[in-house]
Every structure is written in structure tokens, then in C-alpha cells.
Amino acid sequence: MKDVDRAPYVAPLPWFPLPARLAVFLSGRGSNFEALADACAAGHLPGRIVLVLADRADAVGLGTARARGLRAELEERRPGEPRGAHEERLAAQLASAEADLICLAGFMRVLSPAFVARFDRRIVNVHPSLLPAFPGLEAQKQALEYGVKVSGATVHLVDAGTDTGPIAGQEAVAVHPGDDLPSLAARILSAEHRLYPATIGRLLAGGWIVSGRRLIFPG
């Protein structure tokens, strides 16, 4: 069920006991994971990372997490393994780490509606566009091909759709006339690194309301 179909939700004050226990899912280099880890270490984000989980053995973020002394686990989907069985292993890792919140940081595997429902409003994602524009893969390329003048980054709660959950934060990024894909992607990534920890911090403070597709912070 998408949030637009549900009764309003009011997050407790705070959302979870602080410092919140964060799990980060990634598939690659994990630069947004590093932004979150840096914010936690500096005291700017009232949480601590209790699990970094990757679905690819070549994910650079696994090594980065281990170098930081964090628990880092690999859970690849085995050949022929049903999606549900793989997600049960993800859930077991989350239970073992006693994670409060799942932060997707370049996690390239689509989570099933059943998994999302199991962790209802406990999964957050950062996406490289101003949603609802350009959901899905290659959002920066979509923006360039469409010819928009402004793109950006969005942090949202994850629902059963593709990048359709309630929007918690956005930062605009200008598209310059001479931009190519690497230059635009780099500027949007910098915005993600600022926006993701700041927005998660606002969410952890609690007191916000989800009504339909709108996520409204107090004050």
C-alpha cells in the first residue's frame, strides 16, 4: 500500500531512541555512506551505524566500512535463489544488528513490496533528481536529455513504488549549459552528501507527519 492510500502517520518524538541505530545498504563505492558516517562521527547526526550491508562482493564501500571499524556484511543473491529467501537473509542481518532505520546509499537492488511493508516507514533513500522528475536509473542522464535547467537531489521514505515515497528533503542543483554527465553527476552527488545526513537528522528528531504523499515537519 502506498502512503497516499493510508491514514496520516505522526512520528514519535524522537522517532527512535537516540542515538538511532542505522543500517546502510550499498552496492558500490558508498560515498553517501561515508557522508553519513562522517556526520555521525562529528556529532551532527544523532545516530550510529551498526551495519553496512552490500549485495555485491566488489562493493568498495564494504572495505571502507571495515577500515572504519564498522560491521560490514556481504549478502549476495545466490544463483537461482528466490528473491524472498535473499531478503530473509537481509532481514536476519538487520535483526542481528538491532537496526532502527535502513538508509539506502546506492543500493541497486529493488526491494520487494513485502520487504518494504515489513520495515514500514523505516527505509530511507537518496535519489539524484528532484522527484517526482526522473525516477529510476540514470536520473542525471534523463535530466540532461530532457534539457531541464534545474535538477538536484531528493531524500524520501521508501514505499512499494519506484522512488515514489513521501519526500523528506530536496536540494536544487543548476544544470549548466556546458554540463556533461560526469560534471552534473558530481555536483548532484555533492548535494546528496549535504542533504542526506541533514534530512535523516530531521527525521530522527520526530514529530513530523505523513499525510497522503506529503511529509510535513513541525514548525
- Annotated catalytic residues are 127
* 132: DSSP letter: T
- Is residue 152 within a helix (H) or strand (E), and if so which, with residue range? strand 150-157
Helix or strand run (H / E) with residue 27:
none
CA angle in degrees (0–180, nearest 5) for 134-147-174: 80
Query: If DSSP codes are grouped into helix, strand and coil, which group holds residue 159?
Result: coil
Can you read off the three cell numbers belonging to residue 203? 527525521
- DSSP annotation of 58 reads T
Q: Contact at 8 Å (CB) between 79 and 59?
A: no
CA dist 192 to 2, 170, 180, 196, 207, Å? 25, 9, 18, 6, 24
Strands (E), 27-180: 47-54, 72-74, 101-104, 123-127, 150-157, 167-174
